[in-house]
Amino acid sequence: MMGRLAVIGLGPGRDGLVTPEAAAALADAEALFGYQPYLDRVPPRPGQIRHASDNREEIARAQAALALAATGARVAMVSGGDPGVFAMAAAVCEAIEHGPAAWRTLPLTVHPGITAMLAVAARVGAPLGHDFCAISLSDNLKPWDLVARRLAAAAETGFVIALYNPASKARPDRLKDAFAIFAERLPPETPIVFGRAAGRADERIAIVPLADAADEVARADMATLVIVGSAETRLVPRDGLPPLVYAPRSSGRSVGIGT
């Protein structure tokens, strides 16, 4: 029998945000691969084998999953958020490209999920409501000057910017460096959203103006998703409710409602 590999997005971490197709693919798998905290989200099933690995071993994990699928097993690789956004799907494709020819005949299915920027955006309104970009601040896979050029270009041309992997022990100052780039290019009142564990019990959402972001920048960790507004991003105070943050659909000029 031919094996297969499913790469599954678990979303931001609440069961109600796992798609039915992802849940069905998890249930169908004989073996699961993934980073331990993601495997921990999947309800145990009798007979289903689990292979946990460190978060830094993405290619080795992809290779192990493909090798097992090539023996005829139904294998699933779990990923937080969406597997195609700074997660396991690219590592699996990379392993297939450079692996044995047999891996290129294996059925591969990617099950999309709710990625962190969508989950955080939903909690505060619609901060991704106009053109936006997603940038990983992790620079163990790309040079910092390339990241810096992208950050500058995005801020200068009015993109909203979602930042993934903003901080780690190996590179504690990258988020601070990014905010120095924004401070030179965006108004001090630009709304910034810091979202950690969006939608989970330990959720923490903070909305601060760019000029006052230093404390939140210092507090951000790898589980934080940062949304940097554009000059057009609006902050709407509400009575008895948290403020709304949204990017107007109209952009680059003043457009009145109904005109």
Crossing angle (nearest 10°) for helices 88-98 and 58-69: 60
> 32 or 62, CB closer to its own copies?
62
In 3D, which of 136, 159, 162 has the Cα closest to residue 58?
136
Contact set for its own copies, span 133-192 (CB under 8 A): 133-136, 141-143, 146-147, 149-150, 153-154, 156-159
The answer to whether residue 83 forms part of the interface with its own copies (CB under 8 A) is: yes
Token representation of residue 178? 């990014």
The answer to whether residue 16 forms part of the interface with its own copies (CB under 8 A) is: yes
SS3 47: coil
Question: Which of these ranges, 68-76, 85-93, 206-214, 216-224, lies near its own copies under the rule CB under 8 A?
Answer: 85-93
Backbone angles phi, psi at 228, to 5 degrees: -100, 120
Question: Which of these ranges, 26-34, 43-51, 108-116, 216-224, lies near its own copies under the rule CB under 8 A?
Answer: 108-116
> 30 or 94, CB closer to its own copies?
94
What is the Cβ-side half-sphere exposure of residue 40, based on CA atoms within 13 angstroms?
Answer: 5
Contact set for its own copies, span 230-249 (CB under 8 A): 234, 236-241, 244, 246-249
Q: Considering only residues 128, 167, 220, 226, which one is a binding residue for its own copies as defined by CB under 8 A?
A: 128
Residue 213 Cβ, how far from its own copies at the closest point, in Å? 21
- Residue 213 CA to residue 7 CA, distance in Å, equals 36
The answer to whether residue 131 forms part of the interface with its own copies (CB under 8 A) is: yes
Q: Considering only residues 77, 92, 181, 210, which one is a binding residue for its own copies as defined by CB under 8 A?
A: 92
Residue 200 Cβ, how far from its own copies at the closest point, in Å? 13
Pairing of strands 108-111, 4-9: parallel
Question: Which of these ranges, 27-35, 41-49, 95-103, 183-191, lies near its own copies under the rule CB under 8 A?
Answer: 95-103
- Residue 81 CA to residue 69 CA, distance in Å, equals 23
- Residue 174 CA to residue 63 CA, distance in Å, equals 30
Contact between 193 and 126 (Cβ < 8 Å): no
> 78 or 110, CB closer to its own copies?
110
Tokens 């955080």 appear where?
120
Site string for its own copies, 17-56 (x = CB under 8 A): xxxxx--x--------------------------------
Pairing of strands 31-35, 4-9: unpaired
SS3 21: helix
Residue 258 Cβ, how far from its own copies at the closest point, in Å? 7
- Residue 224 CA to residue 138 CA, distance in Å, equals 13
Contact set for its own copies, span 190-229 (CB under 8 A): none
Residue 247 Cβ, how far from its own copies at the closest point, in Å? 6
